[in-house]
Structure 1
Amino acid sequence: MMQMQKRLKYEGSPYSQMVQAMRDIGRNETSTMEFGTIISAPPDIKLHIDHDENTYDKDDIYVSERLTAHKRKADIIGLVVASPMTANGQGPHTHELTSISLKNAEISYLDVLKEGDRVIVECDNERAKFTIVDRVVSYK
């Protein structure tokens, strides 16, 4: 019952409720969670924080790696099913591939922050630094 009462006190959109919960659970006097908008895309990133007249540039901003262009190594495990074929691959034939396994595969993530993206930002009020935690969308 206590959990339900705590949940009901948050108002607004689901994203607003999430920020309110983060503020409540992780109460820290020097840092707050806010919404913002990307004004200029990386590498010369600029950020506007909601309810703040200032615009902040790359000297003040940190970005979570998953919001940048980056590469990761991964093993993609599956089962490769091969159909029989004619000798030396001669003649018309087909292969049925239902899945695949890749060891030490390199995955390139290319979906970077763009102008106009809405983001959740941790604001370090003591050092005037801002960490873009994630991109958010609204299905209004």
Structure 2
Amino acid sequence: MERIEGSGASQLVQLIRAIGYNSDMSIELATVTAAPPELKIKVDHMNVELEKDDLIVAQSLTKYKRKVNLKSESKTKVSATNMNPEVPPFNFDPGAVFVGQGKISFTGINVSSADFSTEEAELEFIDELEEGDRVVVAGIQQGQIYIILDRAVMY
């Protein structure tokens, strides 16, 4: 490498040009033309569609499940709907005393201003790519493979 001359800023720019440029990867915008499982995208500057065999997709853009623990120690609103009104959504305390007669049925229960905690719950993310979504892609291996990094959002 030859000697770099000029001011500090000029030297930095020259150094970045000399060693910082990576021709093996390009960042581009693309449009999803077919949703998974037969995923296809069209990169803005290309005339061809890329098919799923040419693509690597970030997990956050797919349908997937994660195990989580949820905890709230402040005002939390929890609600549930009972799909079977013949069966209450919870069990009564066997020692509870009820005054009056008749049948008690519930179609839902709401609890607010309560602490809330759930351990080892499973969340299923279902917001996978859809036709028409704009995405940010990185082309690697001279554009032979594209990685879909994320959705592109413009305000």
Quickly name the TM-score band, shorter chain normalised.
0.5 to 0.7
1:68-87 per-position Cα deviation (integer Å, ceiling 9, x unaligned): 00000111122489xxx995
Closer/same/farther in 2, CA of residues 34 and 89 from structure 1, 3 Å limit: farther
| Of 3, 20, 23, the match for 1:29 | 23
Partner of 1:43: 37
Q: Residue type matched to 2:96 in 1?
A: N
Name structure 2 gaps, 5 residues minimum. 1-19, 76-91, 105-109
Match of 2:60, SS? helix
Closer/same/farther in 2, CA of residues 90 and 79 from structure 1, 3 Å limit: farther
- The question of 1:131 aligning with 2:147 is answered yes
Q: Does the CA-based 8 Å contact 1:80-1:101 persist in structure 2?
A: no
What is the 5 A alignment of 1:1-140? 27-79=21-73, 88=96, 90=98, 96-126=112-142, 128-139=144-155
1:41-86 per-position Cα deviation (integer Å, ceiling 9, x unaligned): 00000010011111100110111000000000111122489xxx99
Let me know the Cα RMSD of the aligned residues: 2.8
CA shift at 1:90, angstroms? 4.0
Closer/same/farther in 2, CA of residues 102 and 125 from structure 1, 3 Å limit: same
CA shift at 1:136, angstroms? 1.4
CA shift at 1:111, angstroms? 0.4
Aligned length: 110
Q: What TM-score do you get using the length of structure 1 for normalisation? A: 0.68
C-alpha distance in 2, partners of 1:32/1:57? 18
Name structure 1 gaps, 5 residues minimum. 1-25
Counting helix residues as a fraction of each chain, which structure ranks higher?
A: 1
Instruction: Give percent identity, aligned residues only.
Output: 32
C-alpha distance in 2, partners of 1:42/1:75? 29
